Each structure stands twice: as structure tokens, then as C-alpha cells.
Amino acid sequence: MRRTLRTLATYSVATTIALVLTACTGQSAGGGDDGSAAGKDVTITFWHGWSQDNEVKAIDDNIAAFQKLHPNIHVKSVGNITDDKIEQALRAGGRDAPDVVSSFTTDQVGKYCSAKVWADMNPFLRKDGIDAAKTFPAPMLDYSRYEGNQCALPLLGDSYGLYYNKSAFAAAGITAPPRTFSEFEAAAAKLTIPDGDGFKQLGFMPNFHGYETTPMHYLGQYGATYFGPDGKTNVAADPKIAAMYTWQKNLVAKLGGFDRLEKFRTGFGDEFSAKNPFETGQLAMSLDGEWRTATLTANKVGFDWATAPFPVPDDQADTYGRGYTTGTIVGIAGSSQKQTAAWELVKFLTTDTDSLIAFANAIHNVPSTNAALNSPKLAADPTFKTFLDIAKNPHSTTTPASINGGAYQMSLRNFGYDYESGKQPDVQAGLSATAKEIDAAIAQAK
């Protein structure tokens, strides 16, 4: 399951560390030739964040397969490593620093690339004749590089789509999932069953404090852009961004108003448990990632459900099937003295089709290469296939890397909180102020 939201909640600490990284690290002090290519025994350390038993087993199985192919390269794998610990180790360098690192947070890429604490993958890719543009889906490639520096590669991905309660749909007389926002609004209203000052069932929770209903996930349906060629933000200039906030606020009003929805939201159980409001029937539709298919199946919910792409704006109906994508990234520490061996591990984990399929099947994530996405070996029941198709859709997008991580996303979320609640009534004035805030923070980080 994804862990990105917790990183945004603590972005200010991460930004501070990023400034230290930029100031103190400078050029990589790493080394390329460690003798492993000539058969010399080399031990490398691999840090990752997976902690659940099935996740750890899956990554350990892949490492075992790698070591069978490369018997002279020994991998010391350490799991359940947080992003904070990764940043501290990369900053410190030295013998105890890892050689290969993975992170669940694509927002780290801009910081790691600009500070050069992760090695640029481009020379390694060229050496082995790997065409990254043909190997990886475009959004996944986008979130693993910054200003031409391919300092990371994608290692499994996540796609966001629509989950809907088929039983509730049947009861409301809805025969198919909505494809456009106007159809979605009508369905959400029809599926909403009031109960006093609350709801017996809510068609959809649009508020920005709702699970996964973030501005960035919504903007994935618009194809919005965040930065211009000059590196400055265009959140106030791109009309799609203002359109998203306006649409979301109108939907909030249509479904009962901000205060009433917020009161209902406070009764939701934990997002990553059987008390998730979609699983309990409190919500008839939900925006979520592909991993939810596994938990819904495991928890044996008491209704029929299905998945579909999340709807798109009516004036972009031809892009239906798109979605927001993100994922896990992996890189080589810039200070590593064993980069030749480290690259062999990274190359295997990120480009070996059988390895990726085994990993994706084991932890219910989306594969991160075009070959793996199209492989017949991939376990793809109809509910999961939705997310594979979203990952392959040419209109799907992600959030771009920034030198100060996810700070610009937090600025957009904070504006969203103010706008939906009525604290800031003017969408354009609010976005203009948000743009100034974003540009000032990026200038300071640089």
C-alpha cells in the first residue's frame, strides 16, 4: 500500500534536510569500477521500505534470483527503512551508507537529483543500451528524473481509479460506471441517502481531507501542468487547475455542503483497514489505488464491487481511461564505491520482466515497464486490469519532481482546504497567492 500522504504531512522537515543536502553534498564522491564486472566478490547494501511479510518475501525472492545470476555480488537487504533515515544516511555517506536505496515517495527525486546524493542513471543506461523512453511508461519515467538527471528508476507503480459498489448502483438504477464528471455528479447525488444531519450512504466523499481525494489525484484527470519551461509554477495560469477546484467545490455543495460532509468524514475508520468507508458501505464510490483490490478481496466485503477509470471532465471525454500514477523509486547512492555492482542490482530489479511480474503479483502493485505491463504472465483479474490499463493510457499523468520535494503539493492542498471551506472565496486570487508561495519556496531551496 502507498505511504505518500504521510510524507506530505511532514514535508517541512524533509525540505530542511533537502537544503542541507544541497549545501553539503555537492558532486558525487562515489566510484564506478568495483571489480564486480571482472568477477570480484562484492557485497552491497540495499535499503528499502517494505515491511509486511509478503512484501519482504517478494523482494527477498527477487534478490535471491539476482544473486543466482550474479554469484559474486552479495546483497545485504535491510527493510522497513523510512525516508528520513534514507536522507540522513545519504547526507552522511561513509561505510555505513547504503549502496542501493528505494523509496515509496517520488517527491524525493528532485531533492536527491539536485543534491547529487543519488547517481545519474543515464551513463549506466547508455552503457547497457537501455532506451528508457521505450522501457518505462512515460509518467513513471517522469517521476524518476529531475532536470535531465535520471537519478532514479521506477520499481513497480500505482494507478488511481474508481471503486464502485455494484449493489448500491443496482439499487439506485445505475447500470454503468460514470465516464464524465457530469455523469459522476449525477450518480454521486443519486447514490446519496441522507440520514438526519448525516448520511446513511454517501455517493462519494469529495473533500480534500478525504482518503486519496487530493488536488493532485483530481488534477490527474485534467492533464494539468504544474511548472513552465522556466521552472516557475503555472498553477495560477493553467485554467485546468482553477477548473478542478471549482468543480470540486460545486460537488461539495451538491452532496450536502462542506460542514455536513466533514462531520460525516470524522466517522470514517482507518484508511488501510476493514473500516475503510468504502468497505463499510458508508461510501458508494471511492477514488483509490490498485492495492485496494487485494484488501477488498481479503476482507470479503458484503456487497458486489467493481473498478473503472475515474471520470474525466466533460470537455475531455476522449481521454477517459486516464488516471494519476505514482510508485516506488530506486537509486544508487552517489557516495557508493560499488556502483558497478549496485547498477547490476538496480537493472535487474527495474528491467527484468519476470522479476517485475513476480514482484507485482506478490504485492498487488502495477508493473513498471511496458514489457511487464503487457505480459500474459501478469495476474490480471478484471478489477485489477483496470489499473494496468490506466498505467498504459497515454493520457495518464503524474506530479513532476521539484527541488523541495512535495512542498508545492502541500501548498495546493492548503489552498484547497481554504477554498472548499469558504475561507478563501476567490479561486483565482487564491491560486495566484499559492503560485507566489510555491515560487518563493523553490527559489529559497535553490
Least confident among 45-54, 92-101, 286-295, 401-410: 92-101
Residue 211: CB atoms within 10 A of its CB come to 19
Q: Of 432, 421, 397, 427, nearest to 208 (Cα)?
A: 421
**Residue 233 near residue 408, CB atoms below 8 Å:** yes
Model confidence over 418-441: pLDDT tens digits? 999 999 999 999 999 999 999 999
Element (H, E) at 87: helix 83-92
- Mean of pLDDT values over 82-110: 88
What the block records as the C-alpha cell of 304 is 458486489
Model confidence over 188-244: pLDDT tens digits? 999 999 999 999 999 999 999 999 999 999 999 999 999 999 999 999 999 999 999
Is 95 or 4 the better-scoring residue by pLDDT? 95
CATH class of 4-158+326-387: alpha beta
Domain ranges of the chain: 4-158+326-387, 159-319
Residue 29 has pLDDT above 90, yes or no: no
95 pLDDT band (50/70/90 cuts)? confident
Distance CA(135)–CA(133), nearest Å, equals 6
What phi and psi values does residue 247 have, to the nearest 5 degrees? -60, -45
- Residue listed under C-alpha cell 499559492: 434
Residue 315 has pLDDT above 90, yes or no: yes
Residue 13 has pLDDT above 60, yes or no: no
Is 116 or 169 the better-scoring residue by pLDDT? 169
Long-range CB contacts (within 8 A, 24+) of 344-348: 344/36, 344/66, 344/70, 344/73, 345/44, 345/46, 345/63, 345/66, 345/73, 345/75, 345/100, 346/100, 346/121, 346/124, 346/153, 347/124, 347/128, 347/130, 348/62, 348/65, 348/66, 348/69, 348/70
Residue 49 has pLDDT above 80, yes or no: yes
32 pLDDT band (50/70/90 cuts)? low
Structurally, what CATH architecture does the domain formed by 159-319 represent? 3-Layer(aba) Sandwich (3.40)
Rg of the chain (C-alpha set): 22
Give the per-residue pLDDT at 19: 43
**Residue 308 near residue 161, CB atoms below 8 Å:** yes
Give the per-residue pLDDT at 30: 60
Q: Of 306, 277, 265, 326, nearest to 142 (Cα)?
A: 326
Average pLDDT for the chain: 92
Model confidence over 259-293: pLDDT tens digits? 999 999 999 999 999 999 999 999 999 999 999 99
22 pLDDT band (50/70/90 cuts)? very low
Model confidence over 145-202: pLDDT tens digits? 999 899 999 999 999 999 999 999 999 999 999 999 999 999 999 999 999 999 999 9
- Note whether 4-158+326-387 and 159-319 share their fold: yes
Residue 294: CB atoms within 10 A of its CB come to 16
Give the per-residue pLDDT at 331: 95
Give the per-residue pLDDT at 12: 43
Give the per-residue pLDDT at 246: 98
Model confidence over 371-422: pLDDT tens digits? 999 999 998 899 999 999 999 999 999 999 999 999 999 999 999 999 999 9
Residue 37: CB atoms within 10 A of its CB come to 14
Least confident among 7-16, 259-268, 297-306: 7-16
Give the per-residue pLDDT at 216: 97
Residue 313: CB atoms within 10 A of its CB come to 17
**Residue 93 near residue 311, CB atoms below 8 Å:** no
For residue 300, the Cα-to-chain-centroid distance in whole angstroms is 26
CB-based burial label for 70 (10 Å; 0-12, 13-18, 19+): middle
